[in-house]
Structure 1
Amino acid sequence: MTRSYLLAGLIAVAATLWVITGTLLQDSDSRELEKDPAQISETAEIQRVQVRTLNARPYVEEVRVTGHSEANRIVNLRAEQAGPVEELPGSKGSRVSAGETLLRIAEQDRGVALEEARSRTAQRRLEYQAAKRLKDQGFRAETQFAESRAAYDQALAAERRAEIQVEQLTIEAPFDGILETRDAELGDYVDVGQEVAQVIDLDPIIFVAMLNEQQRPGLLTGGPGYVHLPDGRELEGRIRYIASSANSDTRSFRLELEVTNHEYDIPAGITGELFLPRETVNAHRISPAILTLTDEGLLGVRAVEDGKVKFHEVDIIHQGSDGAWIAGLPEEVTLITVGQEFVRDGQEVIPVSEGEEGVSSTSPDEQHP
């Protein structure tokens, strides 16, 4: 009985010692783990980053927008006198000059009416001249002279009306251009007001584009512009019109770029990309790979100033195959080109210029803006 109690006591003492020993060892391990990070932090090296120093350069900010060509002028010609068509000198699609005959309507009895009006005018002129001589000699009353003058004036007016009717039989080109359509054939009878031809003016050719609210500011009437055609040609032009009020449906502004087209080789209705210089700003050209976003969603780049990292928020002016142009940086800036994603604002770093060893790069393209 006594031996059983003694054995149980020894087992209890052994278990207690085992528990105490395990707790002491665990506390010792915890203290060691707590001390290790402090030792690492105290002995950590300052991070190296690859940098490149850039200077701002003038950049001409452009508005780029797609447009289409339109004729400078389009006129639909209508008959002013009725009658059969007796002459069609011009062919559809041909170039015409101002004043060139496009269509002639038969005179019929209009020529006879004109000759009659001219004869009557000659008679009234003689009567007026005789009445004037008699009045000057005192043999004709003032009222009789006035009647002769009125009859002469009426004859002149009738002659002029007859002349206009004959002139209206010939339809001429109002300006240099292209006879785009001809809606009458030889022998057709045309009525007054009937459309018989359309003439378009292609020199200059007009490229029309619609600008949004962000594109319109800074563009002025009379300013320069360029258009890239589908065949690869780049032509210089002049802004001749910018709408002062937006289209009520699209909220966009109409812009017209006037381009010389002496050879008429640019037709109406083709598309083109318009480049409209707006202003010259100082900007830096970089590789888009070095752009970064902050936790707040700000777009910018990280630079090194006085050995510490500084974040600069930037605006992208233009981005193309040759890089991105950005604004918002100092005139001269040392940008981090490799390692910008692993440092934070205000952190002390060791800048290493491109080409020197000491900083790894994932892509050569990311190193060279």
Structure 2
Amino acid sequence: MTKAHSRLIWLILIVLAVFLGYLFWQQQQAPNSGRGPGGPIAVSTAKVTVKPLVRQITSLGSGVANNSVQIVVPASDFLTELNIQEGKAVAAGDIIARLNNVQQQARVAELSAVLTDQNRQLARLQNLATTQATAQSMIDEQQTRVNTTLAQLDIARAQLNELTIRAPFDGYLGLRLISQGAYVNAGTVLTTLDDLNTLKVEFSVAEHHLAEIKRGMPVQVTNVAYGNLVFAGEVSAIDTRLDRVTRSIRVHATLDNSDLRLRPGMLLNVKVELANVPALQISERALIPQQNRQYVFVVNSENRVSMREVELGQRIPGWVEVVSGLEEGEEIVVEGIQKIRPGVLINKVGA
């Protein structure tokens, strides 16, 4: 039993030694896996280029009609005319509804007749005054009557006009809420009117962007209903106050919506372009952070690499601006930096 145990132990030790030797061989092969016959290390490189550096801020916003009102009844009476076709485009001044106006028309006609008669009497007194057959006081009294009746006629005409409800601006009618012939009270809502040809987008911007955002800046808007379709507009107004709770400021942008694809109340994804300037940029994958500094591997004409410190500027997803340390057209390593060290020979396998 002792010899059998001894042979078993030696067998286990031999198998273990072979296994450890295999692992050591694998580790020795791994660093050389990217090397060609001459020993260069396979890496991916890219040229340092100048391209537009676009800085954006994103926010969620809501669609708001350029002009929007509720069409309400100014007085209590019967609806004798109702011209509401839901979704129909109307022009400013078009008649939307008319209330019973028989009494007001009669009142206007009555005052018009009275005014005509009073003007005739005033003219007669003025003719008599030329022959000094009447006193000036009588003319003044008649002129007062004329002025009073004229004022009453203006009020009656205004009240008559109020019974005809017109569109205050160009827009599109909403849902009809009342039927023709119904008796309505003052303040009853008949429908809505929205100017949809231009859509406003209301969104909020954080306080630290306040100094950067300006009127006229380009805005891109998307909505889930239209996928990746982008609607272009510009910043049109910036609020004068910040919200005390969120420390953000409300901003309005305007979009051309003549095709009526966007509607008030829509949830919109907003991107505001803060800057678009040419800048020297490299991929973030090329950076080698060491303490508070950033380095890259630069490739020379002999395909050997050297480590160089760079000063960075603004960052955008996947890219970073290089302020100093590199020149346009220089070649740097973007993939495989973990396999190389300064002075080694590389094999460029991609960009």
Describe the shift of the 1:246–1:352 C-alpha distance in structure 2 as closer, same or farther (beyond 3 A): farther
2:324 equivalent to 1:326: no
Match of 1:130, SS state, is helix
Shift of 1:334: 4.8
Partner of 1:134: 128
- Residue identity over aligned pairs, in percent, reads 20
CA contact (8 A) 1:49 1:338 kept: no
Q: How many residues align?
A: 303
Describe the shift of the 1:137–1:261 C-alpha distance in structure 2 as closer, same or farther (beyond 3 A): farther
Partner of 2:244: 248
Match of 2:106, SS state, is helix
Q: How does 1:30-45 map to 2 (within 5 A)?
A: none
Match of 1:258, SS state, is strand
Aligned pair partner of 1:350 in 327, 343, 346:
343
Partner of 1:337: 334
Higher mean displacement: 199-208 or 266-275? 266-275
Match of 1:243, SS state, is strand
Match of 1:185, SS state, is coil
CA contact (8 A) 2:197 2:257 kept: yes
CA contact (8 A) 1:303 1:336 kept: yes
Partner of 1:18: none
CA contact (8 A) 1:301 1:314 kept: no
Matched letter for residue 156 of structure 2: A
Partner of 1:118: 112
Partner of 1:106: 100
Partner of 1:7: none
Aligned pair partner of 1:93 in 55, 72, 87:
87
Match of 1:293, SS state, is strand
Partner of 2:285: 289
Shift of 1:66: 3.0
CA contact (8 A) 2:87 2:174 kept: yes
Matched letter for residue 184 of structure 2: V
Describe the shift of the 1:199–1:183 C-alpha distance in structure 2 as closer, same or farther (beyond 3 A): same
Describe the shift of the 1:338–1:93 C-alpha distance in structure 2 as closer, same or farther (beyond 3 A): closer
Describe the shift of the 1:97–1:340 C-alpha distance in structure 2 as closer, same or farther (beyond 3 A): same
Aligned pair partner of 1:278 in 264, 268, 274:
274
Match of 1:154, SS state, is helix
Task: Tell me the TM-score normalized by structure 1.
Answer: 0.72
Partner of 1:13: none
Could you list the per-position Cα deviations for residues 300-339 of structure 1 after superposition, in whole angstroms to 9, with x for gaps in the alignment?
44244997523335345321xxx42434344435534356
Matched letter for residue 335 of structure 1: I
**How far, CA to CA, are the matches of 1:238 and 1:132 in structure 2?**
65
CA contact (8 A) 1:77 1:196 kept: yes
**How far, CA to CA, are the matches of 1:247 and 1:187 in structure 2?**
47
**How far, CA to CA, are the matches of 1:341 and 1:214 in structure 2?**
37
2:264 equivalent to 1:268: yes
What is the aligned-residue RMSD (CA, Å)? 2.9
Describe the shift of the 1:126–1:337 C-alpha distance in structure 2 as closer, same or farther (beyond 3 A): same
Match of 1:249, SS state, is coil
Match of 2:207, SS state, is coil
Q: Name structure 2 gaps, 5 residues minimum.
A: 1-39
Matched letter for residue 96 of structure 1: V
Partner of 1:161: 155
Could you list the per-position Cα deviations for residues 34-86 of structure 1 after superposition, in whole angstroms to 9, with x for gaps in the alignment?
xxxxxxxxxxxxx9896644133232323333323211111123222221111
Partner of 1:21: none
Shift of 1:340: 4.2
Task: Tell me the TM-score normalized by structure 2.
Answer: 0.75
Match of 2:213, SS state, is coil
Q: How does 1:202-217 map to 2 (within 5 A)?
A: 202-217=196-211
Could you list the per-position Cα deviations for residues 211-242 of structure 1 after superposition, in whole angstroms to 9, with x for gaps in the alignment?
11344433221233222343132222122112
Matched letter for residue 251 of structure 2: L
**How far, CA to CA, are the matches of 1:186 and 1:161 in structure 2?**
27
Partner of 2:62: 68
Matched letter for residue 312 of structure 1: V
**How far, CA to CA, are the matches of 1:123 and 1:304 in structure 2?**
102
In terms of fraction of residues, the more strand-rich structure is 2
CA contact (8 A) 1:61 1:281 kept: no
CA contact (8 A) 1:210 1:252 kept: yes
Q: Name structure 1 gaps, 5 residues minimum.
A: 1-46, 356-363
Describe the shift of the 1:226–1:52 C-alpha distance in structure 2 as closer, same or farther (beyond 3 A): closer
Matched letter for residue 334 of structure 2: T
